[in-house]
A and B are shown apart, each in its own frame.
Chain A
């Protein structure tokens, strides 16, 4: 590009592209989480069950890595002085950089094909030999799935065979090109001091760095192409199965331009299959699932039951009756749980956004640590509630269709200006959760299970403690007169 879009400087355009990248990573993470949660490991056959658990773990490992991408992109934004942005497009998805609309779907062959297509490199010709047929078939299968998805909907069907339609890697390439150009992005706009606020593997991951190797446990070496492709493939597949549930979460801080570029490059390499040395790319892991899923389906064809809960696509709560559609959660008790899920999702995002506002080496560094723990805590809450929602009716208990976790974006992720107001916001959200919790516990529904009530009771305890703690933080801020955090 010789000039940025009209009305934007190069810096502004770069920030915009990073926001889009962030949106995509967030959307992918949520999409994968939904697919993982949709898997039903309640099958009786133990071999089948082990496979389903493996698939779920593989997909969850990918979603964790997407979260790493999300955080890394925020770090680059920090370096550029751009605002941290965790918003994602709600469905429908309109960005030119994602091949098709974002959608929450239970895991099927079709949606798996779409994921495969989305994760593969734009440079099909550069793929390793053994991956090319899969890539080609993934493209065709994804096209068919999209066609079915759009039946009855007046929207154009994306042509996945059109050159350049696969844009995720193109997006990152464009970002990197602009960032690497000192004329477009001069050194003066880079904020070295932002590293104190950036997310790090140290805090979010399991180690101080991502350079983790333990005889290939996390970074399998490339299998030598000795001509025995089948044996090599099987060995590679075993490696992936053995190790790929270990998420290689990339969260890189960016103190310099080169570090930012390297961080973005590592995101690209982790996703696509352009480098099969990258420790089991997303493409390879999804491909493994596809292979095993179809193998099992073939062997059990006569008694095949898809290993998923029968959850609706894109489930959501509605603000009013007029907005109901076939995916609206209308069964009252399910809607109540879905509201709680959405609120806790908002809480997670707010804590995460806030964590970028507190320096890790400042006087209030302990608050940063506490906030990060609350992000993890909300992840666990979401996991538990999702496990409930995939079993609850969407509309009516007599209908087989289940609700599923809605992952609806809150109306805003904006943080207040003053520190004490940020904590007040957290407190408000916790109080809201307590209220929804009380409503659920008091609901006169025979569908309340012991597990649900237990979870509600425990969450109530924990939220009560959180509210008390936040009050103390606010008192401390009032006395100390701090403007941050």
Chain B
């Protein structure tokens, strides 16, 4: 057997800060389709890694199920420490990813000692602003193959001391089972501390916050202000920092770093002033590398692959999903902005999920404040909201987005839940026009501001929009009601298994009919033929009756719009029509009604086809 290539999964993982001694256990969030309740947190199988690297697997039944115990340990938040697992593409079957286990390595005449890891992460938050390479905080490990914890110690030239970025550990595999024998690395993030400038330095802002660890000794970051981006790095004739001649252009708003303003510290509430306190944190992102030395690629170098790691803050609402997430954006990147690859049923499921996520999002919004209401006499400008943001951007007074009295979280949440109820039972989404398109984010008219998603900011500081693909999915789902597509209860084997939480429908097709209980049955004559309209040869054509010629074989229709005909209100696009003779159907007939084409008759039909009735011309 030959390993052709290596892969790490996931290719991108997110760790989350936490200061508890042990990380979170695994969990799933499951939807209960029978109620409006929010998703249920259910413990999942968890891999526990001991300090020395040994792995044990804990069954969910033996784990704490209380959410607060999953996410917290007393006052400490448990971190999310993701695993990266090694897979191989084999020469013999290049369409599959095969776990790299002890067994596989043995078959390739290799062992775990041949697997080597390396990690390189950085915190470039300060460098991003200053452009000074001395502000890059870098942590890297050499190649390693043992199972000890490899600490990621971040250092930078402008820091006195190091910043702990957490550690990585090559989990020690064993032959207990397939899972335990899989080669994997665990990334455990930092606790989430704040670092700041060394105190007492002449240029450093006065700052005696007790939780800030003094470490930064450079001069550029403390006191960095909003005036610098894009300008030359010269102050009193002297270049202020290493790197380019000008400060990097601002692509992130100044409100994203801690500034010296008194609370409320938002720059737009302080004459657009944002003087940095000189803080940085222990977040990092970078790459996880793995190689198998004994294997060489086509270029002669050891087979190697990499994955990406990012660290972020804890998720404080872990049982809810936001209306637009990174996965929606990635879905669009992979599958494009349209929803052509989805059938209507799947589009509806996804649309329903978006509606559910909308109500989950409303759940943690203070709608009254975010609407721009004045609260207890405090002006709306005091709060960091979209109405305030756009007011400062456009230099106009703050104006609530919706009528202030209607901006109530409980009421809006209830409304979203009603929408969810209607859509989940089969109604086609009717709110398409209310969705803000990505190219409408700058529409700050009252109409535009009220579109959905409401009251939230996108990455560009304008109002949030769903992705094109999300909107296209809802468009597809709105193609029609799906009441008929939901099968009768007693004729299907709907189950709500604990494993996946999704019902397993077996549609029951009624003999001779479509699925669904109450499909109207077309009336048929005794011999099974459809009814033809009983026609009366003496009646003239009706007012709205197009002058259809019915050839004997009823196959072809020749358009016969006379060029001299005066077009009427509903003149159809006759030059495009090849299947009807629509001779100015609604054009005035100054000479009276034309005779019925031969073979065409008029009259009343069975009540089922009420609209086939031909109506008189006079």
Determine whether A417 belongs to the interface, using a CB cutoff of 8 Å to chain B. Answer: no
- Chain B interface SS verdict (over half): loop
CB–CB B411/A302 < 8 A: no
Q: Does A165 contact B (CB under 8 A)?
A: no
A123 an interface residue at 8 Å Cβ cutoff?
no
B445 touches A207 (CB 8 A): yes
B580 x A391 contact (CB < 8 A): no
Are A369 and B616 also in contact (CB < 8 A) when A134-B570, A148-B604, A391-B484 are? no
Would A133 and B587 be within 8 Å (CB), given that A42-B484, A306-B610, A458-B417 are in contact?
A: yes
Tell me which residues across on chain B come within 8 A of A402, comparing CB atoms: 518, 520
Determine which of A297, A366, A450, A455 lies in contact with B487 in the assembled complex, contact meaning CB atoms within 8 Å. A450
Which residues of chain B in 35-92 are interfacial with respect to chain A, using CB atoms and an 8 Å cutoff?
35-37
> Which listed residue, B488, B518, B545, B580, touches A393 by the CB 8 Å rule?
B518
The answer to whether A298 touches B546 (Cβ under 8 A) is yes
A384 to B588, CA, bound (A): 43
A474 to nearest B CB, angstroms?
16
Q: Chain A residues with Cβ under 8 A from B580's Cβ? A: 295, 298-299
Most-contacted residue by chain A among B503, B519, B545, B569 (CB, 10 A): B569
Complex CA gap A462/B550 in Å reads: 56
CB neighbours of A206 from chain B (8 A): 434, 446-447, 450
Bound Cα distance from A429 to B456, whole angstroms: 36
Residues of B within 8 A of A202 (CB): 403
Q: Which residue of A lies closest to B492 (CB)?
A: A450
* Chain A residues whose CB sits within 8 angstroms of the CB of B35 once the complex forms: 457-458, 461
- Among residues of B, the one whose C-beta sits closest to the C-beta of A364 is B405
User: What sequence of 0s and 1s flags, for each residue 602-618 of chain B, a beta carbon within 8 Å of any chain A beta carbon?
Assistant: 00100011111101111
**B445-461 CB contacts (< 8 Å) to partner A:** 445-447, 450
Do A453 and B36 have beta carbons less than 8 Å apart?
no
A100 nearest CB across to chain B (Å) = 15
Q: 0/1 per residue, B518-533, Cβ < 8 Å to A?
A: 1111110000000000
Complex: chain A residue closest to B555, CB-CB: A302
B420 at the interface (CB under 8 A from A): yes
Q: How many whole Å from A241's CB to the nearest CB in chain B?
A: 12
Q: Which range holds the interface residue count of chain A? A: 35 or more
Whether A310 lies near B611 (C-beta < 8 A) is no
B568 within 8 A of A: yes
B405 to A203, Cβ gap below 8 A? yes
* B520 CB contacts on chain A under 8 angstroms: 40, 309-310, 400, 402
Does B478 interact with chain A (Cβ within 8 Å)?
yes
Q: Measured between alpha carbons, how far is A369 from B421 in the docked complex, in Å?
A: 21
From B450, B568, B613, A134 is in contact (CB under 8 Å) with B568
Taking a contact as CB atoms under 8 Å apart, the answer to whether B546 and A294 are in contact is yes
User: Contact: B430 with A383, CB < 8 Å?
Assistant: yes
Name the residue of chain B whose CB is nearest to the CB of A105: B610
B610 CB contacts on chain A under 8 angstroms: 106, 108, 110, 306
Find residues 29-62 in chain A having any chain B CB closer than 8 Å to their own CB: 40-42, 49-50, 52-53, 60
Contact of B480 among A41, A308, A310, A369 (CB under 8 A): A41
> Which of B105-113, B162-170, B571-579 is found at the contact surface with chain A?
B571-579
The answer to whether B425 touches A462, judged by C-beta atoms less than 8 angstroms apart, is no
Contacts of A222 in B (CB 8 A): none
Interfacial chain B residues near A383, Cβ < 8 Å? 422, 427, 430
B312 interface residue per 8 A CB criterion: no
The smallest C-beta distance from B309 to any residue of chain A, in angstroms, reads: 40
A108 cross-chain contacts in B, Cβ below 8 A: 610-611, 613
Interface residues of B in 164-192 (CB under 8 A from A): none
Q: Which residues of B contact A381 (CB under 8 A)?
A: 418, 421-422
Q: A207-B450, A290-B544 in contact; A453/B489 too (CB < 8 A)?
A: yes
Q: Contacts A306-B610, A365-B405, A449-B486 given: A41-B427 contact, CB under 8 Å?
A: no
B491 (CB) vs chain A CBs: closest residue: A446
Q: Are A212 and B447 in contact (CB under 8 A)?
A: yes
B517 at the interface (CB under 8 A from A): yes
**Which of B415, B557, B613 touches A376 (beta carbons < 8 Å)?**
B415
B415 touches A290 (CB 8 A): no
Interface string of B401-441 (1 = CB under 8 A from A): 00111111011101101111110111110100110000000
A235 within 8 A of partner (CB): no
A170–B503 Cα distance when bound, in Å, is 57
For A361, the closest partner residue in chain B by CB is B405
The segment from A88-96, A139-147, A179-187, A261-269 that touches chain B is A139-147
Does A229 have its Cβ within 8 Å of any Cβ on chain B?
yes
Q: How far, in Å, is A306 (CB) from chain B's closest CB? A: 5
Q: In residues 259-297 of chain B, which contact A (Cβ within 8 Å)?
A: none
Whether a CB of chain A sits under 8 angstroms from the CB of B137 is no
Shortest A365–chain B CB gap in Å is 4
| Closest chain B CB from A294 CB (angstroms) | 5
| Beta-carbon contact of A302 and B611 below 8 Å | no
Q: For A368, A377, A383, A449, which residue has the most chain B Cβ atoms within 10 angstroms?
A: A449
Docked Cα-Cα span, A145 to B618, in Å, equals: 13
Q: A233 near B569 (CB under 8 angstroms)?
A: yes
Quote the shortest CB–CB distance from B510 to chain A (angstroms): 11
Complex alpha-carbon distance, A484 and B345, angstroms = 48
Within 59-110 of A, Cβ neighbours of B (below 8 Å) are at: 60, 106-110
Decide if B567 is an interface residue (CB 8 Å cutoff).
yes
Task: Report A253 CB to chain B, min CB distance, Å.
Answer: 12
Closest chain A residue to B406, Cβ basis = A369
A319 within 8 A of B: no
Tell me the residues in window 469-507 of chain B with beta carbons closer than 8 Å to chain A beta carbons.
478-481, 483-484, 486-490, 492, 494, 503, 505
Distance, CA A459 to CA B426, complexed state (A)? 14
A432 contacts the other chain (Cβ, under 8 Å)? no
Give chain B nearest CB distance to A256 CB in angstroms.
22
Contact B408 A304 (CB under 8 A): no
A411 at the interface (CB under 8 A from B): no
- Pick from A42, A109, A207, A304: contact of B481, CB below 8 A: A42
Q: Tell yes or no: B33 within 8 A of A by CB.
A: yes
Closest-by-CB residue of B relative to A376 is B415
Is the Cβ of B571 less than 8 Å from the Cβ of A230?
yes
- Report the minimal beta-carbon distance from B403 to chain A, rounded to whole angstroms: 4
A373 CB contact (under 8 Å) in B406, B433, B483, B588: B406
In-complex Cβ contact of A451 among B425, B608, B609, B616 (8 A): B425
B489 neighbours in A (Cβ, 8 Å): 448-450, 453
Interface residues of A in 118-150 (CB under 8 A from B): 130-131, 133-134, 137-138, 140-141, 144-145, 148
Q: Give which listed residue, B404, B483, B546, B550, contacts A391 with CB less than 8 A.
A: B483
B446→A207 contact, CB < 8 A: yes
Residues of chain B within 8 A (CB-CB) of A109 are 544, 611, 613, 615
B133 to chain A, nearest CB (A): 49
Q: Which residues of A contact B545 (CB under 8 A)?
A: 294
Residue A478 CB within 8 A of the other chain = no
Which residue on chain B has the smallest CB distance to residue A50? B479
Query: Which residues of the partner chain B approach A458 to less than 8 Å between Cβ atoms?
Result: 35-36, 417, 420-421, 424-425
- In the complex, whether A245 has a CB less than 8 A from a CB of chain B is yes
Cβ contact within 8 Å between A133 and B569: yes
Q: 13 other contacts beyond A140-B543, A246-B433, with CB at 8 A cut-off?
A: A110-B613, A133-B587, A200-B403, A203-B403, A212-B447, A229-B566, A230-B567, A310-B608, A402-B518, A449-B487, A450-B487, A451-B425, A462-B421
Cβ contacts A to B, 15 pairs, < 8 Å: A133-B569, A141-B542, A141-B544, A200-B403, A294-B585, A297-B612, A306-B608, A369-B411, A381-B418, A381-B422, A384-B427, A391-B483, A393-B518, A402-B520, A450-B505
Q: Which 8 A-B pairs have the closest CB atoms?
A: A291-B570, A369-B406, A455-B425, A451-B486, A41-B480, A108-B611, A458-B421, A369-B405
Interface residues of A (CB under 8 A from B): 40-42, 49-50, 52-53, 60, 106-110, 113, 130-131, 133-134, 137-138, 140-141, 144-145, 148, 200, 202-203, 206-209, 212, 214, 229-230, 233-234, 245-246, 287-288, 290-291, 293-295, 297-299, 301-302, 304-306, 308-310, 360, 365-366, 368-370, 372-374, 376-377, 380-381, 383-384, 387-388, 391-393, 397, 400, 402, 446-455, 457-459, 461-462, 465-466, 469
